[in-house]
Chain A
Amino acid sequence: MNIVVCIKQVPDTAEVRINPETNTLIREGVPSIINPYDTHAVEAALQIKDKTGAKVTVITMGPPQAEDALRETIAMGADDVRLISDRAFAGADTWATSYALYKAIDKIGFDIILCGKQAIDGDTAQVGPEVAEFLNIPHIAYVRKVEDVSDKSIRVQRLMDDGYDVVESSLPVLLTVVKEINIPRLPSLKGKMAAKKAVITKMDINAIGAEVENVGLKGSPTQVKNIFAPDAKVDRKVLSGTLEEQVDALVKELGVMKCV
């Protein structure tokens, strides 16, 4: 069985702030990390490997530096990795990202594809389902548990707003996973050695066989027009006087608004 895991290198967004006066980002030495959901996807793949002896290939599309993220997954136990990298891929929205990943995955071969629920920078949660559509295979999103897996089918729990569904699918299938699914393992010593030594195979636009007009900025139907600080709207009303007078006025307003 072949498992392909898609990971993304992201800035650690917990550290990103925006300056409301200038509408600009303030980054305090944001380190790049593997998208947290994706480490759970890698772990889920490795658990299936432990059970079935599947081969786990981890891929990422990104700049050359994203190689570091791939090495980390080798340390966790991934068998093989691919860096999908080309100047032409830059500026891709989810459509163009998914198209490039689809082309690469199609070359690699797959029975199960694992993605994170969403990336913490773009935050769209769209890439997994879009890749599945391009490959013309089913997908199940928000997977919180793999109940059973065989050569032909898989049964999982899918998180919903009001609980969860138990869903079965034939293989091949793509899953996107939430954090509840597992606790990612730490790299082993042996893994770390392997990671250090590994030669990372790069795939460029020709290697994946993609058409130029479908990748990168050109292949992207959406555009980011601008970014700004979360909104500080409001029609502010001033309460004045002593604390007691302010509370008085407020309670009167609450009365006007109906609730008393």
Chain B
Amino acid sequence: MRIEVRSEKCVGCQVCIDSCPYTAIVMKDDKAFINEYCQFCRACVSVCPEGAIIEIAEEGDKVKPADISDYKGVWVFAEQRHGYIASVAFELLGVGRKLADARKTTLSAVLFGSSENEAKELVKWGADRVYFCGDAIFKDFNDEPCSELLSRLISEHKPEIVLAGATPIGRSFIPRVAAKLKTGLTADCTSLEIDAETGNLLQVRPAFGGNIMATILCPNNRPQIATVRPRVMKRGEYVSDRSGEIIKVESGNLLCRTKVVETVTEESSCKVNLQEAEVIVSGGRGLGDAKGFKLLEELAGLLDGTLGSSRAAVDEGWIAYSHQVGQTGKTVCPKIYIACGISGAVQHLVGMSSSDVIIAINKNQEAPIFNVATYGIVGDLYDVVPMMIKKLKEAKA
């Protein structure tokens, strides 16, 4: 395939030039021309008002599709740390159930290490079946045994979809599985759906530092593997008397050339516990100074919430980094997110836009945060927040 400008259609308006992130479009004799920098990202195709930029199929483009008809079922890799299943596993079971229903198939979980009791929890969270291997080799996280055993199970049972958390663990070893099995892996997905027409998995993910979203397909290979961003998907439904099958797996001889000699837990990241909070009151540069967070703290206190912030407020030194929400901070998904004096840059939005209810308080009515807000109040936060505090206190009294 190649992306090409049909020069007879090109009117030389140059609109396409700035649309290419790779600087691959240049003007030659008043016509656009695509050079070798092109990465086939297709960003330019829809931009051209003349429809002059097209995708051209080339000889040999067509890959022979592998035989994918035997692949059935949705799998979730349930990662554990220190014996406990990570909460992202329950989110994967939530979205996994939807995908399995859409494909009219079953949902299985895979658990390495931890205990059979934890495996049973996965059933209660929605798994029809759990492949469980309790071998001591999985006590600490090492990439090789995880990728080897998971690859082996996939080859044996042939699931059509495999999901894992986009965590330091999932993002580290799942690529080895994809490499070994020669199949596609989509990173850090924020939305997953089944294409009703083809049955393929539509995998949506942020790229370019969160500035754009891309839909990724893996049409000719199976399984379709994705890592999924934590805190974005809703958890599955917990049913304490749900029954399912636990299948014990032998580890066999697994190669492991790395060794964890020490595990150090650093407190700072857990103290704030933003990711568990039901209510988050966040402040941005609009607070003007560090004292603004005192006011927000009072509001958060009344709502049993905790404090969040934009990067700008952290950069100003008004609040610790552990409170930062967004691309380079935490991804949160509370019931209520209150953004005070935050403009709503995409890097902030990717960290909080899946909150159930978003309340934005900003004095600039053009601020992009209002685009994602359920409730927006245009006004000075130093008028609005004290008024809210007063009324909340009255309501409580």
For the complex formed, measure the closest distance between the CB of B275 and the CB atoms of chain A, giving whole angstroms.
10
> What interface size band does chain B fall in?
35 or more
Contacts of B259 in A (CB 8 A): 167-169
Query: Which residue of the partner chain, among A125, A141, A164, A248, contacts B187 with CB atoms under 8 Å?
Result: A125
Contact B36 A14 (CB under 8 A): no
Min CB gap A204→B, angstroms: 13
* Best-surrounded residue of A91, A129, A239 (most CB of chain B within 10 A): A129
Q: Which one of A63, A141, A166, A246 contacts B37 once the chains associate, using CB atoms below 8 Å?
A: A63
- A-B complex: 6 closest residue pairs judged by Cβ atoms: A221-B184, A124-B187, A222-B184, A129-B175, A133-B179, A141-B172
**A129 to B173, alpha carbons, bound, how many Å?**
7
- Judge whether A232 and B372 touch: CB under 8 Å: yes
Q: How far is the CA of A172 from the CA of B178 in the complex (A)?
A: 21
Whether A162 touches B269, Cβ cut-off 8 Å, given contacts A223-B217, A234-B374, is: yes
- Can you list 26 A-B pairs with a CB-CB distance of less than 8 A? A17-B211, A26-B18, A90-B39, A94-B178, A94-B187, A126-B175, A128-B175, A129-B179, A133-B180, A138-B257, A141-B143, A160-B168, A162-B269, A164-B264, A168-B259, A168-B261, A217-B61, A221-B218, A223-B218, A230-B211, A230-B346, A230-B350, A232-B372, A247-B391, A250-B375, A260-B395
> A230 CA to B47 CA in the complex, in Å?
17
- A228 with B212: in contact, given A138-B258, A165-B141 (CB under 8 Å)? yes
Contact A159-B43, Cβ < 8 Å, known A166-B261, A230-B210, A244-B387: no
The docked-state distance in angstroms from the alpha carbon of A122 to that of B205 is 10
**CA of A232 to CA of B279 in the docked complex: distance in angstroms?**
21
User: Does A191 touch B at the CB level, under 8 Å?
Assistant: no
A residues engaging B (CB < 8 A)? 11, 13-14, 16-18, 22-28, 30, 32, 63-65, 87, 90-91, 93-95, 98, 120-130, 132-134, 137-142, 155, 158-170, 173, 212-213, 217-218, 220-237, 239, 243-244, 246-248, 250-251, 253-255, 257-260
Chain A residues, CB < 8 A from B185? 94-95, 124, 126, 222
Which A-chain residue is minimally distant from B257 (CB atoms)? A138
Neighbour of B23 across the interface among A26, A30, A95, A165, CB < 8 A: A30
Contact indicator A138/B144 (Cβ below 8 Å)? yes
- A-chain residues with CB within 8 Å of residue B216 when the two chains form the complex: 222-225
Q: A142-B168, A166-B261 are in contact. Are A94 and B175 (CB under 8 A)?
A: yes
Number of residue pairs A-B, CB distance < 8 angstroms:
306
Are A224's CB and B304's CB within 8 A? no
Q: Give the residues in chain A near B43, CB-CB below 8 Å.
A: 24-25, 227
Please tell me if B106 contacts chain A, counting CB pairs below 8 Å: no
A212: chain B residues within 8 A (beta carbon): 60
Q: Which residues of B contact A160 (CB under 8 A)?
A: 81, 141, 168-169, 263
A123 and B206 in contact, given A11-B23, A90-B39 (Cβ under 8 angstroms): yes
Kindly state the separation between the CA atoms of A166 and B21 in the bound complex, as whole angstroms.
38
Interface of chain B residues 13 through 61 with chain A (CB within 8 A): 18-23, 35-44, 46-47, 60-61
Among B140, B258, B279, B379, max chain A CB count under 10 A is at B258
Q: How far is the CB of A117 from chain B (nearest CB, A)?
A: 9
- Among B123-131, B288-296, B352-360, the stretch that binds chain A is B352-360
Interchain CB contact (< 8 A) of A133 among B147, B187, B208: B147
* Distance, CA A134 to CA B336, complexed state (A): 45
| Contacting pair B261 A120 (CB below 8 A) | no
Contact yes or no, B184 A95, CB < 8 A:
yes
B376 at the interface (CB under 8 A from A): yes
| Shortest distance between the CB of A246 and any CB in chain B (Å) | 5
Does B104 lie at the interface of the complex (its beta carbon under 8 Å from any beta carbon of A)? no
Contact call A22/B261, Cβ cutoff below 8 A: no
A234 CA to B172 CA in the complex, in Å? 34
On whether the beta carbons of B202 and A227 are closer than 8 Å, the reply is no
Contact of B208 with A120 in the complex, beta carbons under 8 Å: yes
Most chain-B CB neighbours within 10 Å: which of A14, A32, A230?
A230
Q: Is the CB of B395 within 8 A of A239?
A: no
Tell whether, in the assembled complex, residue B269 and residue A221 are in contact, meaning their CB atoms are under 8 Å apart: no
Asked if A239 meets B377 with Cβ closer than 8 Å, knowing A25-B43, A123-B206, A260-B392, the reply is yes
B183 at the interface (CB under 8 A from A): yes
Contact B206 A230 (CB under 8 A): yes
Residues on the A chain within 8 Å of B221, using CB: 221
CB distance from A169 to the nearest CB of B (A): 4
Smallest beta-carbon distance A147→chain B, Å: 10
A122 and chain B: residue at smallest CB distance: B207
Name the residue among B1, B22, B140, B206 with the largest chain A CB count within 10 angstroms. Answer: B22
Residues of chain B within 8 A (CB-CB) of A169 are: 257-259
Q: Is the CB of A235 within 8 A of B374?
A: yes
Instruction: Find the B residue at minimum CB distance from A64.
Output: B36
Do residues A224 and B375 form an inter-chain contact, with CB atoms below 8 A?
A: no
In contact, A227 and B42 (Cβ under 8 angstroms) = yes
CA distance A22 to B44 in the complex (A): 11
Task: Chain B residues near A90: list those with CB within 8 A.
Answer: 36, 38-40
A243 and B218 within 8 A (CB): no
Are A221 and B183 closer than 8 Å at their CB atoms? yes
* Residue of A whose beta carbon sits closest to that of B214: A227
Given A159-B168, A165-B262, are A138 and B209 neighbors across the interface (CB < 8 Å)? no
Which parts of B170-212 form the interface with A (CB within 8 Å)?
Answer: 171-173, 175-176, 178-180, 182-188, 202, 205-212
A256 to B349, CA, bound (A): 25
Q: Are A233 and B372 in contact (CB under 8 A)?
A: yes
Given contacts A13-B208, A237-B374, A243-B387, is CB(A254)–CB(B215) below 8 Å?
A: no
Q: Which of A98, A159, A164, A220 is the one whose CB lies under 8 Å from B179?
A: A98
